[in-house]
Amino acid sequence: AEYDGSETWKKLLFSLVFYNALILERRKFGSIGWNIPYGWMGSDLKTAQMQLRLYLSESEAEGAGAPFDTLLVMVGDVTYGGRITDKMDKLTNKSILQEFFCTAVLEDGHCLAEGYQVCVGSTLSFVQARVDELPRDDKPRMFGLHPNAEISFRHNESSGLLNTLIASPVGIDSSAPSQGREAATDETPGTTTAEDPAESKAGEAGDDEATAIARSASAILSRTTSAPSLDLSAAHADTFAQVDRRINPLGVFLRQEISRFKFLRAVVEQTLAELDRAMQGLVVMSGPLEDMYQRLAIQRVPAQWESAGYPCLKPLGAWVQDFLDRIGFMDAWLRNGPPASFWLSGFFFPQGFVTSVLQMHVRETQTPIDELTMTSQATSMVIPHDGDFSAVSPPSLGVYIHGLFLQGASFTAELGEACPGVLFERFPLINLQPTPRSSVADEQGSAPQTYSCPLYKTSLRAGTLSTTGHSTNFVMSLALPTSQDPGHWTRRGCALLCMLDE
């Protein structure tokens, strides 16, 4: 009886059920599917089905067409969107649902995805039989994703398995042999017992592991202590130059970043020195030190460093090198003055840098900051963060930033489909330009079409909800030119990242 109704009802019901299945299965692709994996339930589908029946019946009774705008709000924003907490996920959900609640769905032979045609029939059993004939393999294109998303899915699956195996406690339980030796000694006092070969090997393996960890900790400590000291007294005259009788905002931002890096380095050096003393037996091996020992053994960043540091998913070796690179960039800025291009990924708080650029423009032009917004313009220069910037001159307006990676697409002069097998593409330099809001509003009608591309600190994309309403992993949105519908890139999960995981 629930299936009985007009042909429009049957087509939209099929689209609704297909949409429900798609958003649930899209979770398997990780952050490129959804920033946060939401737990939609059967009750959500039931509620959406009741809403579809209600609003469609009212519309048909009035002789009007299907109320797509109402359905997009009630089903997309309320029923399913009510569970979504991430702002970018809300946009993705709305963009997906627009593909299923539209006039094209009511056309005969319309396909919701390649190989998935809208099924209608006189009975529900007929439709169920047709559904059983649909393709069993779910290709990424069906979800609006690029085929590279399948590679990401397989990589995430294998990485999760390997990380679980690595973190699993593996070893030889020596308690039983020890008890056996004690029993044998009690029965035959004065006699000696041969050493168990397996136990001997286990002891040698433990000694080798401890030696390797001690050597690794010593190497890291040596590298951090020999890194630049970030002495503010050695600053270039332009670094903390005054604007309007006050230190320029970028100089204030640099000073705050340096204090954060100094604190992190102090934590790294203190914990490494404490671990070395604990391994020598000079101090007690506390719980945090034991956890640090275990993490170093499997090449993971210690928890103390993570809590004092910045969001980063790199393994231990890459994390240390990245940390030293960041200190090197800060030292070069401190000693040589503001660079031609800023390594946005190297900051603790990149959002603060963007605000500082706006404040610099405010000081120089005496424009109220609430009348400004940050616009972006991509260049054709692709230079790694440790590359040569001698040929780059600062822009006439704003600043250059670099060090970003594009996921889910490629970029030349505009966004294009990603190359097969290329999951991340190094993005060219971007010119961040403080622009009056009135100018942006005036150019909206004549400006080229752009995609508001989100920029995240890590590939995890998810974060905690801050007071600004954005995720703490979210930095800003950058307008990238595109000849395709921006919703296409939203469904692709296209985003910019400050760093990779390796």
Low-confidence ranges of the chain (pLDDT < 50): 1, 171-194, 198, 202
170: Cβ contacts below 8 Å, ≥ 6 apart = none
Please tell me the predicted confidence (pLDDT) of residue 288.
92
With 0-12 CB in 10 A as exposed, 13-18 as middle and 19+ as buried, what is 183? exposed
Per-residue pLDDT tens digits for 141-157? 999 999 999 999 998 89
Please tell me the predicted confidence (pLDDT) of residue 171.
44
Q: Which of 180, 138, 173, 146 is nearest to 24 (CA)?
A: 138
206: Cβ contacts below 8 Å, ≥ 6 apart = none
State the Cα–Cα distance between residues 352 and 311, nearest whole angstrom: 15
Residue 154 has what DSSP assignment? H
Please tell me the predicted confidence (pLDDT) of residue 439.
79
- The helix/strand/coil state of 45 is helix
Per-residue pLDDT tens digits for 453-485? 999 999 999 887 666 656 789 999 999 999 999
CA distances from 476 to 184, 349, 378, 489 (A): 70, 12, 15, 17
Q: Do residues 404 and 455 make contact, with C-beta atoms less than 8 angstroms apart?
A: yes
**DSSP strands (E only) in 347-448:** 372-378, 399-402, 405-407, 410-411, 415-416, 424-426, 430-436
State the Cα–Cα distance between residues 452 and 477, nearest whole angstrom: 6
Tokens representing 1?
């009886």
Please tell me the predicted confidence (pLDDT) of residue 442.
64
Please tell me the predicted confidence (pLDDT) of residue 205.
53
State the Cα–Cα distance between residues 173 and 357, nearest whole angstrom: 59
Per-residue pLDDT tens digits for 311-322? 999 999 999 999
Please tell me the predicted confidence (pLDDT) of residue 356.
94
- The helix/strand/coil state of 452 is strand
Please tell me the predicted confidence (pLDDT) of residue 403.
92
Residue 275 has what DSSP assignment? H
State the Cα–Cα distance between residues 6 and 315, nearest whole angstrom: 57
Tokens representing 89?
């996920």
CA distances from 207 to 203, 413, 448 (A): 6, 57, 64
State the Cα–Cα distance between residues 45 and 85, nearest whole angstrom: 19
State the Cα–Cα distance between residues 350 and 402, nearest whole angstrom: 12
